[in-house]
Structure 1
Amino acid sequence: MLDTRLGGVGRHEMRATLVEVAAQLLREQGPTAVTTRAVAQAAGVQAPTIYRLFGDKDGLLDAVAEHVFAAYVAGKALIEDSGDPVADLRAGWDTHVGFGLANPALFGLLADPGRGTRSPAAAAGLEILRARVHRVAATGRLRVPERRAVELVHAAGTGAVLTLLTMPPEDRQFDLADAMYDAVVQAILTDAPALAEDSSTAAAVAFRTVVPELPALTDAERALLSEWLDRVTDS
């Protein structure tokens, strides 16, 4: 049963309640169940209230996605680093896949390019991924530029979850996500921080992470050094 708690409350409280009700409908019955009429009825308000607060159904869905995903991202941000950047990158992948499979309808909304690009929570989640990749780069283990590594991990993770969600739960091949991660690792990581065949690229990527923090250089010199290193990593 849905909670139908709404009385003499303010705009903020009313909005939060409607988001919670819509999130519950989304979780239990899927996106098709989240209609303005269903949400209004479950919350005990008139449908025009939803239009006044969210504009339309898409606005309500955006608010629901933001609410749930923001809580997830905040939890990720609180996880302490283990001291092993490569292990932390894998842990982040596993958490991402687990969240997607546990929240299929919500993940579908977030994977929609039109909605995802407007989501502050999705942007914050991507920043967490960038930070983890940056720490890997600083160890000399990254064989590609940081931006490329982030794009590959993000694309592969989203694709793996969406593919698994197309399968009936009882037929899901969970090793698919593991195989996808292993393929990405092969593409972005070196076997060791030194003595690898492409160690010059890995060294350039690693050095690139500290260039912004070199106090002895001017801004122009740091920009020029960054440009030189970028040429090495892109070659």
Structure 2
Amino acid sequence: MTETGTRERILHAAARLLSESDGAPLSTRAVCAAAGIGAPTLYHHFGDKDGLLDAVVAYGFERHIADERAQQTTGDPVQDLRRGWDGHVAYGREYPAFYTLMYGTGRRGGAAEEARRILVEVLEKVARAGRLRVPVETAAGMIGAACVGVTLGLISGDRGDPELSPRTREAVLAAVTTDQAADGPSSPSALAVALATALADRAPTALSEAENTLLREWLTRLAGA
């Protein structure tokens, strides 16, 4: 079997054992037995147990990321945020072992960063529509922290209120977005966020560097007002 094939077999075995572990630690000995390999082969591919866990978490999250990327927009970026929140929570509840390793132990790899990039991309669309009350990075931090907290709570057994996730979602979205239509009037702060986002990658050539710096500072102040 090729190097790639052996690595995939180990990941398949580790992912299956992790899914079936019910929170128990993943044993490298069990992974080796399930994959039909010796410990030196495992360490050759992953270095150590931490390297294996990092690879397994990324492997387990890849499907979710692919599904997120494949989603067609609803035409309403705020509704896309809702759908993204619900998909994130649903993934965590379906694959709690993977999710807890990624978000509950500080083991944040490339998959987590890719998930955050998807969130930022949607928030940039909300901002350009004049419907974001706060800067994109602030909104991403608020939504990410709230969504992860809710998901970890549901995984740990806090299922007393079935409306916990949707209520938290709507409270956070109300704090960071506005109901104004994309072509309608909006608040000064939302318009400032929209302009700052639109100019983030392309500063006006009619302004000097100093003037662009001053413009960004004014927009930042307005966005936080």
Q: Same fold (TM over 0.5)?
A: yes
- In the alignment, which residue of structure 2 is the partner of 1:6? none
Residue aligning to 1:3: none
1:215 offset after TM fit, Å?
Answer: 5.4
Partner of 1:123: 113
- CA distance in structure 1 between the aligned counterparts of 2:25 and 2:146, rounded to whole angstroms: 29
Matched, 1:160 2:159: no
1:187 aligns with 2:167: no
Q: 1:23 to 1:219 in 2, by over 3 A?
A: farther
Three-state SS of the structure 2 residue aligned to 1:115 is coil
Question: Amino acid of the residue matched to residue 20 of structure 1?
Answer: H
Give the equivalent residue in structure 2 for 1:37.
29
The unaligned stretches of length 5 or more in structure 2 are none
Report the Cα offset of residue 222 of structure 1: 3.8
Match of 1:73 among 65, 79, 86: 65
Query: 2: distance between equivalents of 1:195 and 1:45?
Result: 64
In the alignment, structure 1 residue 138 sits paired with structure 2 residue 128 = yes
2-structure distance, mates of 1:51, 1:216: 54
User: 49-58 or 128-137: which moved more?
Assistant: 49-58
Partner of 1:4: none
| Corresponding position of 2:74 | 82
* Whole-angstrom CA distance in 2 between matches of 1:148 and 1:206: 14
TM-score between both structures, scaled by the size of structure 1: 0.86
Q: 1:105 aligns with which of 77, 86, 97?
A: 97
**Given that residues 143 and 202 in structure 1 are in contact (C-alpha distance below 8 angstroms), is that contact kept between their aligned partners in structure 2?**
yes
**After alignment, is 88-97 or 218-227 more displaced?**
218-227
- In structure 1, distance between residues paired with 2:32 and 2:5: 15
Post-superposition CA distance 1:145-194 (Å, at most 9, x none):
111111011001000001111117xx553310011101101211223256
Alignment length, in residue pairs?
221
CA distance in structure 1 between the aligned counterparts of 2:152 and 2:138, rounded to whole angstroms: 21
- The CA distance in 2 between the partners of 1:83 and 1:103, in whole Å, is 29
* Matched residue SS, 1:141: coil
Q: Is the 8 A contact 1:133 1:146 kept in 2?
A: yes
Q: Which has the higher contact order (CA 8 A, sep 6+)?
A: 2
- Superposed CA deviations along residues 171-222 of structure 1, whole A, max 9, x for unmatched, are 55331001110110121122325666xx111111111121134654457244
**1:49 corresponds to:** 41
Indicate the RMSD between aligned Cα atoms, in angstroms. Answer: 2.0
Q: Distance in 1 between matches of 2:28 and 2:208?
A: 53
Calculate the TM-score normalised by the size of structure 2. 0.90
User: C-alpha distance in 2, partners of 1:223/1:113?
Assistant: 39
